[in-house]
Amino acid sequence: MEDHELLAKIRDPETRNYGFNLLVRAYQQRIYWHVRKMVIDHDDADDVTQETFIKVHKHIEGFRQDSQLYTWIYRIATNECLSFLERKKRRFFLPIGDVAGELSSKLDSSPHITGDEIQMKLQKALLKLPDKQRLVFNMKYFDDMSYEEISEITNTSVGALKASYHHAVKKIEEYLSPE
Amino acid sequence: MKKLEDIPKKTIFEVPDGYFDKLPSAIQARVASKQPVLSPRFSYALRFAVPALVLALVAVIWFRPSTQPKTAEDILAGIQTEALIDYLANSEMRLEEMINASDFSEEDVAAIEGAVYDIQLDDEVLDGLADDYDFELND
């Protein structure tokens, strides 16, 4: 179903719930995996994903369609991820290094994470990056999004995004290289 | 140096079985729990009923007939004559105090004087009164 059809169903009070259900089913996996790569833990990703769609439901009447629906939802999910990580830092009064350490330990202990050694090492390398740089890297490397799409979501210039991504790749490669 | 492009692109994350089947209903349940308690129809009526009620109350208070203060005659007319006599008889005020405390208008004074001096006494009645009181007139 096209975005405009989905929106029409949601904005009609008779079909609002049905339309919103269709929207969730259409975008839940993409949003969940985007969130999961940032927060690592499944239960946290579940919370953040649900909060994202609740915000979508709350604000969809005001969606002006000046961007694609997916871009708008992705932007909400991105903000929810960053807010979640920021709250995590404040809650435990930990500097960023310790939060990264906590997320890194989740990679080792979580029942819903499996991967070979190099994949685990890559994820731990990513956790060394600042949250926003990690975000850009995930969208470019894992989601294969264009710089223009990422620019629309993060409200950052394409040039800045390119620089951020190439810098992230360099840091990861240094981390992965044997000493 | 290990190159990123040499590493296979894989996800290491997994989800519990059936997670995405249950996620939409979990979200719908949370959305429903955040809905307002009032039904849209009731809240719509309330939105207009309350301002209308306030306006009606203001109109009632603003346009109610004002009660004019009663005159002294109106007040006295409502009191039994016997009660007035008893009050005056038992009052410790002397006549002069009562008169001084009263606020008589010109009309009131004229009416009182007229009531006093309009007594029609002829000479025969006056003579009778003089005999009763044992004094002579025109001394």
User: Which helix (DSSP H) or strand (DSSP E) does residue B1 occupy?
Assistant: none
Give chain B's length.
139
Segment among A171-175, B56-60, B77-81, B101-105 with least mean pLDDT: B101-105
- Whether B119 has a pLDDT exceeding 60, the answer reads no
Confidence of residue B123 (pLDDT cuts 50, 70, 90): low
Mean pLDDT of B129-135: 55
Query: By the CB < 8 Å criterion, does B4 face chain A?
Result: yes
Cβ contacts of A47 within 8 Å, gap of 6 or more: A84
> Average model confidence (pLDDT) for chain A?
90
Helices (H), B3-105: 19-33, 40-63, 72-77, 81-90, 95-101
Contacts of B28 in chain A (CB under 8 A): 17, 20-21, 24
Chain A, window 8-27: residues with a beta carbon less than 8 angstroms from a chain B beta carbon: 13, 17, 20-21, 24-25
How far apart CA A71 and CA A77 sit, in angstroms, is 10
Q: Measured between CA atoms, how close is A114 to chain B, in angstroms?
A: 5
Query: By the CB < 8 Å criterion, does B29 face chain A?
Result: no
Q: What is the reported pLDDT for B138?
A: 46
Q: Inspect the interface and report whether the beta carbons of A169 and B2 lie closer than 8 Å.
A: no
Contacts of A117 in chain B (CB under 8 A): none
First to last CA, chain B: 153
Segment among A27-31, A45-49, A53-57, B134-138 with least mean pLDDT: B134-138
Q: Measured between CA atoms, how close is A155 to chain B, in angstroms?
A: 26
Cβ contacts of A11 within 8 Å, gap of 6 or more: A19, A60, A61
Query: By the CB < 8 Å criterion, does B22 face chain A?
Result: no
What is the secondary structure of A47-109 as a DSSP string?
A: HHHHHHHHHHHHHGGG---SS-HHHHHHHHHHHHHHHHHHHHHHHTT--HHHHHHHHHHHHHH
Q: What is the reported pLDDT for A10?
A: 92
- Whether A84 has a pLDDT exceeding 80, the answer reads yes
- Whether A106 has a pLDDT exceeding 90, the answer reads no
- Whether B23 has a pLDDT exceeding 70, the answer reads yes
Mean pLDDT of A111-118: 78
How far apart CA B5 and CA B7 sit, in angstroms, is 5
- Asked if B24 contacts A29 with a C-beta cutoff of 8 angstroms, the reply is no
What type of residue is A105?
A: S
- Asked if A73 contacts A59 with a C-beta cutoff of 8 angstroms, the reply is no
How far apart CA A96 and CA A132 sit, in angstroms, is 12
Confidence of residue B139 (pLDDT cuts 50, 70, 90): very low
C-alpha distances out from residue A80 to A18, A34, A44, A84, B117, Å: 25, 11, 11, 6, 103
- Whether A126 has a pLDDT exceeding 90, the answer reads yes
- Asked if A52 contacts A77 with a C-beta cutoff of 8 angstroms, the reply is yes
Long-range pairs for A12-16: beta carbons < 8 A, 24 or more residues apart: A13/B40
Structure tokens at B83: 């009660």
Q: Inspect the interface and report whether the beta carbons of A112 and B10 lie closer than 8 Å.
A: no
Q: Tell whether ipTM is more than 0.90.
A: no
Contacts of B14 in chain A (CB under 8 A): 42, 112-114
C-alpha distances out from residue B30 to A53, A66, A136, B22, Å: 10, 28, 30, 13
- Whether A149 has a pLDDT exceeding 80, the answer reads yes
Q: Inspect the interface and report whether the beta carbons of B7 and A119 lie closer than 8 Å.
A: yes
Structure tokens at B24: 């939409």
Structure letter (DSSP) for residue B38? S
Confidence of residue B39 (pLDDT cuts 50, 70, 90): low
How far apart CA A86 and CA A154 sit, in angstroms, is 17
Q: What percent of chain A has pLDDT over 90?
A: 67
Confidence of residue B137 (pLDDT cuts 50, 70, 90): very low
pLDDT, greater one: A9 or B92: A9
Q: What is the reported pLDDT for B127?
A: 62
Q: Inspect the interface and report whether the beta carbons of A123 and B1 lie closer than 8 Å.
A: no
How far apart CA A158 and CA A152 sit, in angstroms, is 9
Confidence of residue A85 (pLDDT cuts 50, 70, 90): very high
- Asked if A160 contacts A126 with a C-beta cutoff of 8 angstroms, the reply is no
- Whether A139 has a pLDDT exceeding 90, the answer reads yes
- How many of the other CB atoms lie within 10 Å of CB of A126? 25
How far apart CA A141 and CA B67 sit, in angstroms, is 85
